[in-house]
Chain A
């Protein structure tokens, strides 16, 4: 199965929870896991779901100065929770790919000054799938940075939803936060996007944006004029739209495997 390729593409150790130091780790086959990334360590973490489970929750605590890269792949339509707490000067970068009609909730707590959280995500829903992606970025202290960029695609009779929240507490001065949701629908599919900001501090830099669009007809025409069929042109355009997030996956080797997973999904568009 193609989800295995994501794991096979890297040299990673299986993780069942507990404290981790530098290295590459994989969580799979686990419904409920708590992980602590030790202070100053640099770890890579791949989170994969498996068939047959009912939900998956991964709790991560990154201690001061830790750097963590996360690749989160969702191929099953049950509930997924990713909960990350970040101490001072922690850097966390997450790449999330959702190719099932799942409920996916990601929560980042920025609890130490100088923390930086980056999330690049994509969901692709086909047929009659119902998907629901939630991202909550909680700036609990000041001097932190967050960047969330999510891309959504839905085709057929699918329905997608993106709900984003950037919360900035009263004491979280000098916060720098961005949130972007870009979506493309095909056929009768629908995507709802609701980016939200709750700002209680006054010295902050925040921006958010959301778009829902159709395919770019001119780009399709351009590709067809070069001999590419209409169906392939559509696929190529969607692939390009989503690939942007995946190709920058922070764990070397994972990008190509995620791309293959995405291509399998795009065959169903």
Chain B
């Protein structure tokens, strides 16, 4: 589904990604971990197409296409979803209206008719239940006045509405209490299928108690320096990153 080869990217003059290699297949869950400032969020932004970052080298193939040639909205319409670390407030635009436009844009890109108001309401009710999102929130402005937990639930709600092929969740667990974490993680697990894939970027192992990854990667100084299975996350939680980083320095 996703094949990243030797990806380099910079913001301004500063190179942040220094040769990422990663392959994600349908049905898989990948976790990307790593210390602060290692480039995790940059990788998510670059994959989403954020123009703040310049890709200087390497390639990204997504379902047989050159991802880097597509703009942000085209990537989204082709099924790439980014759960934001800091969801943005949009005053005066209701959640319901925002999602209706987004869902219908995606349908249009697939050559489908827009949803009728009744179909849309049904979809919204069904999907908000997955993350136990208070239905009142959908009539409020996007993320405005939402609590930290509500914002993150709202990201997963949007993911459920858009039904992506590849979801990249950027620190969706940060700032969540244990209940919200369970709800968010259960939501992600329920949306998992054989034909989609999830990349979870996280700082802490605890999310991975709920979302069981097939692979755990450690990102450090713009490169993936180690890949393991779910037991790696546990080891990182206990022992930190030092043993890996030290090994890496010696290389």
Contact = CB atoms under 8 A, between A and B. Distances in A.
A219 B98 contact: no
A223 B92 contact: no
A82 B172 CA distance: 52
A221 interface: yes
A219 B102 contact: no
Interface in B38-62: 48-50
B101 interface: yes
B90 interface: yes
Contacts of B87: 222
Given A221-B50, A226-B162, A227-B102, A244 B91 contact: yes
Contact of B76 (A225, A236, A242): A225
Interface residues of A, number: 23
A230 B73 CA distance: 8
B92 A225 contact: no
Interface in A164-218: 216, 218
B91 A236 contact: no
Interface string B77-109: 100011010011111110000110110011001
A241 interface: yes
Contact of A219 (B89, B99, B162): B89
Contact of B101 (A218, A225, A228): A228
Contacts, number: 74
A219 to B, nearest CB: 5
Interface size of B as a range: 20 to 34
Given A226-B102, A227-B77, A228-B102, A221 B92 contact: no
A4 to B, nearest CB: 25
A221 B91 contact: no
Interface string A23-36: 00000000000000
B101 A240 contact: no
Given A223-B98, A228-B73, A243 B90 contact: no
A261 B116 CA distance: 24
B141 interface: yes
A227 B82 CA distance: 11
A225 B48 contact: yes
B180 interface: no
Contacts of A242: 92
A229 interface: yes
Given A227-B76, A227-B109, A222 B84 contact: yes
A225 B90 contact: no
A228 B48 CA distance: 13
Interface string B147-173: 000000000001000100000000000
A224 B91 contact: no
A174 B98 CA distance: 43
Nearest to A222: B88
A54 interface: no
Nearest to A151: B92
A26 B57 CA distance: 65
B90 A227 contact: no
Contacts of B98: 223, 226, 236
A66 B96 CA distance: 38
A240 B162 contact: no
Contacts of A224: 71-73, 76
10 contacts: A216-B88, A219-B89, A225-B48, A226-B105, A227-B73, A227-B76, A228-B105, A236-B90, A236-B98, A237-B90
8 interchain residue pairs of minimum CB distance: A240-B92, A240-B93, A226-B102, A227-B76, A222-B88, A224-B72, A227-B105, A243-B92
